[in-house]
Each structure stands twice: as structure tokens, then as C-alpha cells.
Chain A
Amino acid sequence: MITLRFPKELYSGNAIDAAVKLYAEHARAELEQTSDAYLVHVHGLGGVSEALVADELANAALGKTIERRGE
């Protein structure tokens, strides 16, 4: 399992949700939040590299956060 930490002031919660859904086929994710961050626990599925899925998921979360700014 890999845990990704996204500071709330830098990442959008909706963008993280969308990124998790995007990679649902390759990883199971558990979402959690602290006072200042969203935590995503990533479990790889079907022999896919967990680290690769986690990196791609984090990139997608950042990309969607930036794209959704100003909406």
C-alpha cells in the first residue's frame, strides 16, 4: 500500500475524487482526511505496479486541480 498526501490548500478534493475514479480499474483507493490534508491509500490491482498507479493518480489529481481552478 502507498499513501499519498495532498495538502488541502493546494489540491481540490473533487479533483482527487475524479483522479481516484479514473484509476479505479488499476487500484483500490481508501480516502481519508486530516485537518490540513487529503490522504489516499492506494492498493494496486491485478499485478500493476502500485508505485506507477500512485504516481499517475497524483499527477491526475494535480492536473484536474489546475484545470478546475477558476470554475
Chain B
Amino acid sequence: MGEAAVTESSEGVVLELDEALYPKDAVYGAAYVFIDRCYVRLDRPAPGRLSIRLKPKAGTETPPETLVGELENELLGQAWRRLLVDENRRLLETVTTKALAGAAGPPGLDELLEMDGDESAAFDDPLGIAVSWEEKYKKRGKSEP
């Protein structure tokens, strides 16, 4: 049985659902929203299935069928929100890293001095392109071949 099932009794209304569609985190999130208006109980009636029982508190005038509708909406919202968070986690991590790096500010003089590496490596010119203008275009003397 994949879809949600609703049963009503004197102990309130029970919504049974598939955990593959509504992860446990979404169920907790939705249950928490109702905790001020209802007595909420969670149970596992069968493997892969979760049930949420809502028993309205005294003074709650919302009919049970409305509560179940609101619970289903909340479950859907919570599940969708968690899906978006998971999908955007990498993007959020990248943005946060860049923001933290930017907050550190530009490097100071001391940090630049600490950064200078091997001097011989800095002047290494394997392709021979670091030739000065004067050297490249100087007039050659008669004595030169």
C-alpha cells in the first residue's frame, strides 16, 4: 500500500503513510507543528510505514478531517523543503566558503612576505620568453657574427 490511509476513532484520527514518500524528518517536522493543538503520537504499524495520531486538545474546534488535511499539506511541505535543502547543499557550501574567505579580507604585507617562495623558481624561464626589449632589439655590432 503506497498511499496514505486515514482512520478515525474516539482516540482521534490516524494517518498512516509510506516512509519512502515521507521521510522521518518530514514526519517529525509536521508533527511538531500540531503539538500545541493536538496530542500527537507516532507509531510504526508495519515495516516501511509510519502512523501519526492526532487527538485534538480541549478547546480545539477544528474538525478531525480538517486537521488531517492540514497534516498532509504540512507533510508535503516538509518533505519538499528537505528535498530542496539536499539538492542545494553543495551550492550553499560553496557560497558559504566564498563568503568566509571574503570576510577574511585581502592579505597584508606580512602575509605577502610569508608567501614568497623559491626565488630561483620565480625566474625559471624554460620557454625563453622573459627576454628584455633592449636585449631582443639591440643593434648588433660589426664584430658580432
A66 to chain B minimum Cβ distance, whole angstroms, is 5
* Bound-state Cα–Cα, A10 to B44, Å: 8
Q: Which residue of A lies closest to B31 (CB)?
A: A62
Given the known inter-chain contacts A62-B31, A66-B28, A66-B32, please indicate yes or no for A9 contacting B41, CB distance below 8 A. no
Which residues of chain A are near B43, meaning CB under 8 Å?
Answer: 5, 7, 10
Q: Which residue of B lies closest to A62 (CB)?
A: B40
* Contact assessment for A10 and B42 in the assembled complex, using a CB-CB cutoff below 8 Å: yes
Which residues of chain B are near A11, meaning CB under 8 Å?
Answer: 42
Q: 0/1 per residue, B37-62, Cβ < 8 Å to A?
A: 00111111000001000010000000
* Contact assessment for A62 and B41 in the assembled complex, using a CB-CB cutoff below 8 Å: yes
Interface size of B as a range: 10 to 19
Q: Which of B28, B35, B41, B42 contacts A69 (CB 8 A)?
A: B28
Q: Which residue of A lies closest to B39 (CB)?
A: A55
Q: Check A59 for interface membership: any CB of B closer than 8 A.
A: yes
* Chain B interface helix/strand/loop/mixed: strand
* Contact assessment for B35 and A7 in the assembled complex, using a CB-CB cutoff below 8 Å: no
Which residues of chain B are near A59, meaning CB under 8 Å?
Answer: 35, 39-40
* Bound-state Cα–Cα, A25 to B75, Å: 35
Which among B42, B43, B44, B55 has the highest number of chain A CB atoms within 10 Å?
B42
* Bound-state Cα–Cα, A69 to B41, Å: 17
* Bound-state Cα–Cα, A12 to B59, Å: 29
Q: 0/1 per residue, A37-70, Cβ < 8 Å to B?
A: 0000000000000000001101100110110010
